[in-house]
Chain A
Amino acid sequence: MDDPVAKRLVDSIIADFPDHDPGKRPIHTVGIGVKGTFEASEVARTYCIAEHFQIKRVQGKRVPIPVTVRFSNGSGSPKRHDGWNDVRGMAVRFHLAGDRATDLIAMTLGEFFVRGVDEFLDFTKSARQTPVKRESALRKIGDLLSLMRPLPNPPPGQNQSGDAGTLDYANKHRFAQLAVFQAGMIGAPVSYVRAVYHAVHTFFIVGPDGVRRPVRFSWKPVAGVQTTKDTSKNPDNEYLQEELRRRLKEWPARMMLMMTIGEAGDALDDPTVPWPARRVRVVMGTLTLKKVAEDQVRDGEKLSFNPWRLVPGIEPSADPTLKARRDAYEDSRKRRGVTQCPFLPE
């Protein structure tokens, strides 16, 4: 049965991108599928019983888990603008035994904009695309004299943007300020595999001793982070997919899966609040990206990720945004006519 809330959420995102292509994802529309493997660290299994955190050996040799990864630009526009200031996505599917799978969906922003469905609907309304107004020279001088940073010039070719609306929303809603502030400065990565990706929401993991821990996951690139901060003069709008193809032909790319363990009192159900830097971090494994998928339709565009595609050993928190994402992803999946999530009734 259709979920009216999920439908409203997806409709609100689509409304933010007038050039939305109905057959494609409403957000993170442009992306590329990549094949690789994941190997759990030696300590991962002492924290979590989930299958992909165990070490599997056949005749004494470690057998890594096959993965499919989709990197994406955050925008819902079907046009590629790799060089624009934008959040990037990294969705990972771990292929487990017996055709089962689990997903981990992450983005380059450390925190989310809102705490729940109603706020999300308000936020997307504020983030509607409006004609980009380049700040006039006179206004810029006024900003400089006021010790304010002039608004960044839009990159070449950008006529519409939701930036003004999101800034206005953040000025009225403190919980959104950190994410909006960071999104405004996030820039463009020089490569999809040279950015840190955060899964943002809290999950609970269960250890072999039955201990349940709140955690947040992040992918850290072994190649290091490199970003183009000033995107205002960046005319190069199509380079991320080409760079990845070139890179993976020469050498695999690696990402480390870091897990931060929360403490009592940390924001478990609120993705707008970061956890303190003093929390225990554990390396849970290494992802090795080997090649760009040959069939981009099957291993990219037709894949349907869902943050609730979990396996025993990992549970979702009570975060209302995480809950809403489960059904919104499913609604979006149906609209695109791709494979159903196994845990949801048709």
Chain B
Amino acid sequence: MARNGTKTKAEGGTSQKGWFDWLGDKLDQWVDWLATTKPFAFIAGRILVPYWAWRTPVKRLEGGPRPSVQPGDNVQRMMNLVMPLKDKSAVGRALAALAIAQNKDEIYAGLDNVGTVHFARFVIVDDNICMFSVYDGDFSNYIRDFIVTIGSVFDAVVELVEGGEDVIPSAKHVEKFIDWVHDHDIYQVSDVATDILRDQEEANGDAGAGNDDLRLLPRKLILQLNVNRNVSLGSGYRAYPGYSAAQVRQQFGVGW
């Protein structure tokens, strides 16, 4: 049955739509189009997001590795440190690049000694110096090893980062430094899309509250990205999942 009560052709009635249907379809199409326009994007970003952030505040979800339960969860873990530079000019970025370049041997030798790292690299993104790495084992132990093996290089980098002066020299502020690194390790969105609802409930201390509406998932994601500008989308692809750096070295006979 059509909206104005006339039968459609499929129902054995007339194929002609009433003007009310026609108007409804046009309005529908206009709304679908509206959602894709720049003015709507502007309104959404400048008005709707701040409004809903005020109306339904969300806590910033913590960064760092997700809880590891099974042995396989402890291999090939990601660390994505995003550290805002104090000097946000090209000079500031160049100083960060220089701090890495001057200490390349020390970094590589240190990572060889840590032994649990698959990959590690420094990247400058906008006004941030970032360190992205894939490692095995416990996060705190990884950073502890890091402090022992390349702490001095890291001190040189952290010195250029906002708030970094409070945690260097890292060798003298081990626990504080670990917490600082954890705080700069970005939130890792779960591989399971609906887990963001659970993460937020846990952060709010209302796990199992039963406040479920799957259609609210986009808003919850938007509001989380409003307070957490940098996130890792899932745990990433692995070409050889489940194997530690030590197992790979052993298998290929390149251990040390």
B212 & A263 in contact (Cβ 8 Å cutoff):
no
> Chain B, interface size: which category?
35 or more
Q: 4 closest Cβ contacts across the A-B interface? A: A280-B242, A147-B219, A137-B27, A263-B70
Give the contacts of A271-304 with B (CB-CB under 8 A): 274, 276-281
> Can you list 17 A-B pairs with a CB-CB distance of less than 8 A?
A140-B32, A146-B219, A147-B218, A148-B215, A148-B216, A171-B212, A172-B212, A174-B212, A178-B193, A180-B214, A181-B217, A266-B70, A276-B73, A276-B191, A280-B72, A280-B242, A280-B243
Interface flag for A265 (CB, 8 Å): yes
A153 at the interface (CB under 8 A from B): yes
Is A227 an interface residue, CB under 8 A from the partner? Answer: no
B213 beta carbon closer than 8 Å to chain A: yes
Pairwise interchain contact B235-A277, C-beta atoms closer than 8 A:
yes
CB of A278 within 8 A of CB of B72, answer: yes
Closest to A232 in B: B32
- B76 x A278 contact (CB < 8 A): yes
Identify which of A145, A172, A278 contacts B73 (C-beta below 8 A): A278
Q: With the chains together, A181 CA to B49 CA distance in Å?
A: 23
Whether B72 lies near A279 (C-beta < 8 A) is: yes
One digit per residue, 1 when the CB lies within 8 angstroms of any chain A CB and 0 when it does not, for chain B 16-46 equals 0000000010011011101100001000100
Contact present for B213 and A171 (CB under 8 Å): yes
CA distance A150 to B27 in the complex (A): 14
User: How far is it, in angstroms, between the C-alpha of A172 and the C-alpha of B213 when the chains are bound?
Assistant: 8
For residue A261, CB closer than 8 A to chain B, the reply is yes
Does B238 sit within 8 A of A, measured CB to CB?
Answer: yes
Hey, which bits of chain A sit against chain B, CB under 8 A?
134, 136-137, 140-141, 143-151, 153, 159, 167, 170-172, 174, 177-178, 180-182, 184, 261, 263-266, 274, 276-281
> Are B44 and A147 neighbours in the complex by a CB distance under 8 Å?
yes
In the complex, which residues of chain A have a beta carbon less than 8 angstroms from the beta carbon of B193? 178, 181-182
Other-chain contact of B241, A143, A174, A181, A277 (Cβ < 8 Å) = A277
Q: How close is A170's CB to chain B, nearest CB, in angstroms?
A: 6
**Quick check: is B102 within 8 A (CB to CB) of the other chain?**
no
Q: State A143–B44 Cα separation when bound (angstroms).
A: 12
Given A140-B31, A148-B219, A264–B70 Cβ distance below 8 Å? yes
A265 contacts B70, C-beta separation under 8 Å: yes
Q: Of A172, A180, A265, which is in contact with the most chain B CB atoms at under 10 Å from its CB? A: A265
Q: How far is the CB of B174 from chain A (nearest CB, A)?
A: 28
B217 contacts across to A, CB distance below 8 A:
181
CB distance from B109 to the nearest CB of A (A): 28
Min CB gap B116→A, angstroms: 15
Known A276-B70, A280-B241; judge A159-B214 contact (CB<8 A): no
Are A281 and B213 touching (Cβ within 8 A)? no
Cross-chain contact of A274 among B30, B69, B71, B192 (Cβ < 8 A): B192
Complex: how many Å from CA A280 to CA B72?
8
A278 and B241 in contact, given A137-B30, A177-B194, A265-B70 (Cβ under 8 angstroms)? yes
Would you give the 0/1 interface string for B212-228, flagging 1 where the beta carbon is closer than 8 Å to chain A? 11111111001100000
Cβ–Cβ contact A137 & B31, under 8 A: yes
Distance in angstroms between the alpha carbons of A184 and B214 in the assembled complex = 11
Extra contacts besides A280-B242, A280-B243 (10): CB < 8 Å: A140-B32, A144-B34, A144-B40, A148-B216, A148-B219, A149-B218, A181-B193, A264-B70, A276-B235, A277-B241
Contacting A at CB under 8 A, from B219-255, are 219, 222-223, 234-238, 241-243
Smallest beta-carbon distance B144→chain A, Å: 23
CB-CB under 8 A for A145 and B48, given A172-B212, A274-B192: yes
| B242 adjacent to A261 (CB under 8 Å) | yes
Q: Is B108 an interface residue (CB 8 A)?
A: no
Does B90 have its Cβ within 8 Å of any Cβ on chain A? no
Point out the residues of chain B lying under 8 angstroms from A172, CB to CB: 212
- Kindly list chain B residues whose C-beta atoms are within 8 Å of the C-beta of A277: 191, 234-238, 241
Give the Cβ gap from B218 to chain A, nearest Cβ, in Å: 5
- Please tell me if the beta carbons of B235 and A278 are within 8 angstroms of each other in the complex: yes
Is the pair B72, A153 in contact by a Cβ cutoff of 8 Å?
no
Residues of A within 8 A of B91 (CB): none
The answer to whether A141 and B31 touch (CB under 8 A), given A148-B216, A149-B215, is yes
Shortest Cβ distance from B213 into A: residue: A171
**Minimum distance in angstroms from B198 CB to a CB of chain A:** 8
> What is the bound-complex CA distance between A91 and B35, given in angstroms?
40
Pair B28/A134 contact, Cβ less than 8 Å: yes
| Chain A, Cβ-Cβ closest to B222 | A147
Which of B28, B71, B212, B242 contacts A153, CB < 8 Å? B28
Q: What CA separation (Å) do A136 and B44 show in the bound complex?
A: 20
Assembly CA distance A169 to B73 (angstroms) = 31
Could you tell me if B49 and A147 are in contact, using CB atoms closer than 8 angstroms? yes
Complex: chain B residue closest to A276, CB-CB: B73
Do the beta carbons of A137 and B213 come within 8 Å of each other? no
Report A266 CB to chain B, min CB distance, Å. 7
Which B residues are CB-close (under 8 A) to A136? 24, 28
Chain A residues lying within 8 Å of B40, measured Cβ to Cβ, are 144
A162 and B117 CA atoms in complex are apart in Å by: 49
